[in-house]
């Protein structure tokens, strides 16, 4: 193993457990300004004193500003470390960190405060190696989980040689350490229905049911799914709301569907499959979220080979269906690698967990990848 990786990884892992406990101790549902500010203050305190701190306007209106910390070096490459502090868990369901054997259980532990803890640890190690980079920056955003607005930071870091994102790590089917180099595009389709109310007992025939129209639209959208097809498209209705009283034909309603495919263009036929009207109910369909896909397999292959040599064991490139801000960055920084965080499970649930043993192993992976990037750029 590379001497720097071998020496730094135990330090990163040891402090990461402390940092993770502090970060998970703060409830940060996406959009909550007070929680975000508390988490940002912790992250800023965990960065090395040499880091230049900057608060950047969040991509989503009404959110706390994002945090950027920068280290200036004497080398040439510029490297961005990327993560988010917000979670999908509400204040009411929030769980502080607790240990159960190898598991550190708590809200947002794996998605992605464990990854943030490792990223901050890597920044503390990089401060001792200024000859490796011209600039090393960490960007922590507060709106990744529920963002529908365009991502506002990608162009800001255009020209950086590399980006590493610390979403949760994984192992390959053969048991090798894996990072994420391919992600599907992700979209959210919203259908609004406008019908006509009527008494559901005495005159239902005069009504035009938004609920039934949305149910029919949901079936038509689901029929567009083609996972084995060339775009590997999935179209999954996930939320339907309609009706305000048990004895009234519902006149209004909303349907939300989750779309995934290799390319954003694959969503267009799904949008086109929604009719303008069903049984007298007017329907309007819009995309409220559209995140690009990511495919950096070719761009990252040489780096992963060099990183594996530094690590002393294989690192393989993997694919993941979930969305990540790495996809936005990859459109501007072609050499983008994701999935450098610790391993765990239960993402998007209060019982999220991170493997304690994985903290050191994934710190080794992250440091090996960072070293290979800075040496090869």
pLDDT, position 13: 98
pLDDT in tens, 26-36: 999 999 999 99
Give me the count of residues in the chain.
Answer: 377
Region 173-189: mean pLDDT is: 96
pLDDT in tens, 258-271: 999 999 999 999 99
Beta-carbon contacts of residue 174 (< 8 Å; ≥ 6 apart): 316
pLDDT in tens, 122-166: 999 999 999 999 999 999 999 999 999 999 999 999 999 999 999
Beta-carbon contacts of residue 373 (< 8 Å; ≥ 6 apart): 77, 79, 161, 162, 164, 303, 307, 335, 337
pLDDT interval class at 87 (50, 70, 90) = very high
Please choose, from the candidates 16, 11, 14, 40, the residue with its C-alpha nearest in 3D space to the C-alpha of residue 117.
16
> Phi first, then psi: what are they for 92, rounded to 5°?
-65, -35
Is pLDDT above 90 for 326? Answer: yes
Is pLDDT above 80 for 377? Answer: no
pLDDT, position 376: 80
Please choose, from the candidates 89, 82, 67, 221, the residue with its C-alpha nearest in 3D space to the C-alpha of residue 146.
89
Region 355-365: mean pLDDT is: 98
Cβ atoms of residues 250 and 243 within 8 Å: yes
pLDDT interval class at 350 (50, 70, 90) = confident
- The angle subtended at Cα 46 by Cα 304 and Cα 111, nearest 5°, is 55
Cα gap 42→252, rounded to integer Å: 44
pLDDT, position 115: 98
Please choose, from the candidates 175, 136, 29, the residue with its C-alpha nearest in 3D space to the C-alpha of residue 92.
29
Count the alpha carbons within 13 Å of 188 in the hemisphere toward its beta carbon. 15
- Integer angstrom CA distances of residue 375 from 134, 235, 284, 347, 372: 12, 42, 52, 34, 5
pLDDT in tens, 192-249: 999 999 999 999 999 999 999 999 999 999 999 999 999 999 999 999 999 999 999 9
Is pLDDT above 80 for 188? Answer: yes
Please choose, from the candidates 167, 140, 203, 177, the residue with its C-alpha nearest in 3D space to the C-alpha of residue 5.
177
Is pLDDT above 90 for 280? Answer: yes
Region 352-365: mean pLDDT is: 98
> Phi first, then psi: what are they for 270, rounded to 5°?
-65, -45
Beta-carbon contacts of residue 166 (< 8 Å; ≥ 6 apart): 81, 82, 83, 112, 115, 116, 118, 119, 340, 341, 366
Is pLDDT above 80 for 273? Answer: yes
Point out which residues pair with 82 in neighbouring strands.
139, 165
SS3 state at 229: coil
Is pLDDT above 80 for 4? Answer: yes
Cα gap 29→146, rounded to integer Å: 9
* Residues of the chain above pLDDT 90, percent: 97
**Mind listing the domains of the chain with CATH numbers?**
3-184+293-376 (3.40.630.10), 186-290 (3.30.70.360)
pTM (2 d.p.): 0.93
pLDDT interval class at 349 (50, 70, 90) = confident
pLDDT, position 77: 97
Region 108-130: mean pLDDT is: 97
pLDDT interval class at 321 (50, 70, 90) = confident
Is pLDDT above 80 for 370? Answer: yes
């Amino acid at each position: 193993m590379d001497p720097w990786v071998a020496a730094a990884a135990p330090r990163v892992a040891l402090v990461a457990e402390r940092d993770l406990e502090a970060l998970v101790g703060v409830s940060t549902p996406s959009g909550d300004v007070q929680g975000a500010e508390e988490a940002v203050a912790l992250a800023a305190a965990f960065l090395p004193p040499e880091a230049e701190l900057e608060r950047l306007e969040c991509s989503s209106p009404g959110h706390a500003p994002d945090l950027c910390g920068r280290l200036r070096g004497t080398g040439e490459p510029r490297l961005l470390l990327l993560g988010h502090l917000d979670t999908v868990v509400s204040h009411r369901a929030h769980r502080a960190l607790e240990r159960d054997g190898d598991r550190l259980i708590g809200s947002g532990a794996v998605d992605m405060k464990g990854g943030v803890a490792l990223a901050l640890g890597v920044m503390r190690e990089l401060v001792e190696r200024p000859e490796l980079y011209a600039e090393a920056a960490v960007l922590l955003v507060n709106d990744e989980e529920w963002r529908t607005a365009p991502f506002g930071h990608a162009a800001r870091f255009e020209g950086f040689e590399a980006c590493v994102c610390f979403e949760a790590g994984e192992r390959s089917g053969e048991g090798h350490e894996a990072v994420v180099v391919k992600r599907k595009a992700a979209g959210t389709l919203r259908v609004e229905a406008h019908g006509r109310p009527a008494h559901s007992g005495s005159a239902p025939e005069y009504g035009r049911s938004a609920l039934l129209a949305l149910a029919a639209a949901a079936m038509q959208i689901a029929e567009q799914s083609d996972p084995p097809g060339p775009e590997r498209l999935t179209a999954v209705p996930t939320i339907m709301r309609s009706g305000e009283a048990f004895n009234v034909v519902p006149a209004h309603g909303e349907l939300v569907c989750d779309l995934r495919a290799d390319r954003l263009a694959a969503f267009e036929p799904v949008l086109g499959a929604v009719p303008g009207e069903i049984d007298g109910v007017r329907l309007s369909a819009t995309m409220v979220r559209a995140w690009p896909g990511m495919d950096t397999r070719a761009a990252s292959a040489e780096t992963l080979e060099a990183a594996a040599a530094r690590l002393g064991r294989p690192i393989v490139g993997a694919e993941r269906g979930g969305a990540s801000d790495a996809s936005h960055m990859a459109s501007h920084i072609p050499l983008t690698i994701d999935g450098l965080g610790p391993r765990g499970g239960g993402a998007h649930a209060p019982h999220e967990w991170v493997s304690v043993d994985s903290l050191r192993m994934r710190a080794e992976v992250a440091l090996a990848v960072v070293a290979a990037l800075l040496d090869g750029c």
